[in-house]
Structure 1
Amino acid sequence: MQFRDQIPIYLQIADIICENILLKQWLPEQRIPSIRDFATQLIVNPNTIVRTYEFLEQKRIIMNQRGIGFSITKDGYKLVLEYKKEDFIKKDLPHFFRQLYLLDLDIHTLEDDFNKFCENYNK
């Protein structure tokens, strides 16, 4: 797996988990890979996965059940959606708006392109 230098690896892994939840590949109350298994799968240090799981546990997206392992919380999908929306609005949208402004693009001209993207993404 290729990681980007600008963002801590544990946050990039958290994004992978969040995307799996948003795509409904990982469902509420479903077990997720163990720390060791996920570290092996992603070829990272297990401590990095521990940090990722702690981060998501603090956000109540996952929970640790003693003797069973980690799983998605009942409200995991809703919490991921809230977290990712807030993150997008704070981090990505300002850059996007700046590019629209610099390139003198009207946001309404992108509506058709966005709709086409959504159609193709859902196929």
Structure 2
Amino acid sequence: MEFNNTQAIYLQIADYVCDKIQLKVWQADQKIPSVRELAVMLEVNPNTVMRSYEYLQSQEIIYTRRGMGYFAQVNAAQNILKTRRAQFMDEELPLLFKKMKLLGIPVNDLQAQYQLFINNNIS
């Protein structure tokens, strides 16, 4: 995994875990990689993964079973979707609207482009 400089590494790892859960690579209520396993996979310090896991526990995405490891919450995918939608609406969409306004792009053009994108990326 390549990390960027725009976001803390532990948050990028949390996004990675969320992606795996949303894509159903890691199923709800099933064990996910241990802190050490994920640290080796991503070539990071285990303390960084631990921080990610603590963050995800606070977001009710994963939970721990004593002596067994970490597991994806039953409703993890729904929690991730809800959080990511809210983040998109609150943070990313206003930036898009600002650029559209500056460039004089009407909403109708955006809708047409979105439909083209959907039609060309059916999968």
**SS, match of residue 32 in structure 2:** coil
Structure 2 length-normalised TM: 0.90
* Partner of residue 92, structure 1: 92
Q: 1:22–1:121: structure 2 CA closer, same or farther, 3 Å change rule?
A: farther
Determine the structure 1 residue equivalent to 2:42: 42
CA distance in 1 between partners of 2:100 and 2:81 (Å)? 25
Please give the alpha-carbon distance, in whole angstroms, between the structure 1 residues aligned to 2:33 and 2:119.
Answer: 31
Within a 5 Å distance, the mapping from 1:1-123 to structure 2 comes to 1-123=1-123
Change (3 A) 1:108 1:22: farther
Name the stretch that deviates more: 62-71 or 88-97.
88-97
Q: Which moved more, 1:43-52 or 1:90-99?
A: 90-99
Q: For the residues of structure 1 that align with 2:40 and 2:16, how far apart are their CA atoms?
A: 15
Deviation per CA, 1:72-117, whole angstroms, max 9, x where unpaired? 1111111111111111122211211111111111122122332333
> What SS does the corresponding residue of 1:64 show, helix, strand or coil?
strand
Shift of 1:121: 4.2
CA separation of 1:48 and 1:122: change in aligned 2, threshold 3 A: farther
| Matched-pair identity in % | 37
| Structure 1 residue runs of 4 or more that deviate by more than 6 Å after TM superposition | none
CA pair 4-29 structure 1, distance change in 2 beyond 3 A: same
Alignment length (residue pairs): 123
Name the aligned partner's letter for residue 63 of structure 1: Y
Over 3 Å counting, the alpha-carbon distance change for 1:51 and 1:103 in structure 2 is same
Q: With structure 1 as the length reference, what TM-score do the two structures score?
A: 0.90
Over the residues paired in the alignment, what is the CA RMSD in angstroms?
1.5
Q: Give the Cα separation in 1 of the matches to 2:118 and 2:23.
A: 13
Cα deviation, 1:27-47, whole Å, max 9, x if unaligned, reads 211211110010111111111
**Secondary structure at 2:14's aligned position in 1?**
helix
The gaps in structure 2 that reach 5 residues or longer are none
